[in-house]
């Protein structure tokens, strides 16, 4: 059985074919994979058609014949229909099934797929961030910072003999400041946005806002390197100020960039620990998303775990919860493949 898995974002649409093995838990390497700029086609239907045509040309008609498909899309899903958040698309799973001749096409939220994909990554693609060993079949919490802040929970289902995803919009809950510096940051963000959610800090835009807040502090104004200011002021296609800040922080070439990334890592640890506490995530707290793997060495310095564990009277409980950074580049594809194979 060949299944089609997709991770469809506002920037790129990633599609892959997987062969279903004897065990649904084991997801091998894709037999064919392509990335399309999402805006390069008028609709997702056209992207999938072009992908399947390329797969048939590479693998042959039989090997590229898809029996089930699951597409993770950035946006809410209702009745197998998605109105994409960052694209002018309305994707209908049933209509897509009929057009492509695939018996079943399932649409899920992209972070739903990414959370389930965490259970399919190899141990070598999990970077530990402290805590004890995971409890088999214990509750799992997953969060991922990138363009936004995704969150989800995984609970073991004896009936399904596997983890079931409990979706969440917890990235939009109110941010709780813990230090005088964070109180100042929250005040800065409140003035700018009116309300401050966790996502306002734990995202690419949030890292830039943290740097901007620090740069306006009198004690920091003279510490910013001229080349940093020039890099952040530049514009154009592909310009990513969050990447510029994190790169300089990792290289140790700008102290204000280092402070901004330290705030980010500490808040990420605090929020991750809160999630672990909410569901007693003895199966682990997994940090996915695009930012964490890029700043892994910074996360491993200790600020993340210190904030994770600082839970007052319950610190001895939280200290036992294992935490990991997911370094697999596409857990969303793995999760979508697992869903397609289970149909």
pLDDT of 23 higher than 80: no
Predicted confidence (pLDDT) per residue in 287-329, tens digit: 999 899 999 999 999 999 999 999 999 999 999 999 999 999 8
Same domain for 177 and 289, yes or no, is yes
**What is the domain extent for residue 43?**
2-121+328-342
The runs of H, that is alpha helices, within the chain are: 44-59, 93-100, 110-117, 180-193, 204-215, 226-233, 241-251, 255-279, 296-299, 303-309, 315-318, 331-342
Residues 186 and 275 in one domain: yes
> What secondary structure letter does DSSP report for 235?
-
Residue 234 pLDDT class (50, 70, 90 cuts): low
Whole-angstrom Cα distance, residue 134 to residue 163? 15
pLDDT of 28 reads 83
Note the pLDDT of residue 181.
95
CATH code (residue 188): 3.40.367.20
Pair 233, 252 in one domain:
yes
Q: What is the pLDDT of residue 116?
A: 94
pLDDT confidence of 108, banded at 50, 70, 90? very high
Q: What percent of the chain has pLDDT over 90?
A: 77
Task: Give the number of other Cβ atoms within 10 Å of residue 234's Cβ.
Answer: 10
Rounded to the nearest 10 degrees, the angle between the axes of helix 255-279 and helix 241-251 is: 100
Based on the fold, state whether residues 196 and 303 are members of the same structural domain.
yes
In a shared domain, residues 230 and 289: yes
In a shared domain, residues 335 and 299: no
- Does the residue 14 lie in any domain? yes
Do 284 and 232 sit in the same domain of this protein? yes
Residues 328-342: what's their mean pLDDT? 92
Q: In this structure, what CATH number is given to the domain that contains residue 109?
A: 3.30.420.40
Structure confidence at residue 197 (pLDDT): 96
Q: Are strands 323-326 and 126-128 parallel, antiparallel or unpaired?
A: antiparallel
- Give yes or no: residues 175 and 299 share one domain: yes
* pLDDT in the model for residue 22: 47
Neighbours of 238 (CB within 10 A): 5
Q: Is 238 contained in some domain?
A: yes
Give the residue-averaged pLDDT of 218-238: 73
The answer on 214 and 103 residing in a single domain is no
Structural domains of the chain, count: 2
* 84: pLDDT strictly greater than 90: no
pLDDT for res 11 = 80
* 0.85 surpassed by pTM: yes
């Amino acid at each position: 059985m060949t299944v089609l898995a997709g991770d469809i974002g506002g920037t790129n649409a990633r599609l892959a074919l997987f062969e279903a093995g004897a065990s649904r838990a084991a997801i091998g390497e894709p037999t064919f994979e392509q990335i399309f700029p999402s805006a390069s086609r008028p609709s997702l239907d056209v992207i999938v058609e072009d992908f399947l045509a390329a797969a048939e040309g590479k693998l042959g008609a039989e090997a590229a014949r898809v029996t089930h498909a699951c597409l993770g899309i950035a946006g809410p899903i209702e009745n197998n229909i998605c109105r994409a958040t960052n694209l002018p698309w309305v994707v209908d799973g049933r209509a897509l099934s009929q057009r492509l001749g695939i018996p079943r096409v399932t649409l899920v939220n992209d972070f739903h797929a990414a959370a389930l994909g965490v259970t399919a990554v190899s141990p070598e693609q999990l970077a530990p961030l402290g805590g004890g060993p995971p409890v088999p079949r214990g509750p799992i919490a997953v969060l991922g910072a990138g363009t936004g802040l995704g969150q989800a929970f995984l609970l073991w289902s004896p009936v399904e003999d596997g983890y079931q995803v409990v979706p969440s919009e917890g990235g939009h809950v109110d941010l709780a400041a813990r230090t005088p510096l964070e109180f100042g940051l929250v005040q800065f963000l409140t003035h700018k946005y009116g309300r401050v959610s966790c996502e306002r800090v734990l995202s690419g835009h949030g890292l830039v806002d943290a740097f901007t807040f620090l740069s306006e502090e009198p004690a920091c104004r003279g510490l910013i390197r001229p080349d940093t200011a020039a890099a952040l002021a530049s514009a154009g296609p592909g310009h990513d100020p969050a990447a510029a800040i994190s790169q300089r922080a990792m290289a140790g070439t700008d102290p204000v960039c280092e402070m901004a990334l330290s705030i980010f890592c500490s808040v990420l640890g605090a929020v991750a620990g809160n999630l672990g506490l909410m569901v007693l995530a003895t199966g682990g707290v997994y940090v996915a998303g695009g930012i964490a793997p890029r700043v892994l060495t910074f996360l491993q310095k200790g600020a993340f775990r210190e904030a994770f564990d600082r839970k007052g009277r319950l610190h001895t409980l939280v200290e036992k919860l294992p935490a990991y950074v997911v370094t697999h580049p596409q857990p969303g594809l793995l999760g979508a493949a697992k869903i397609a194979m289970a149909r």
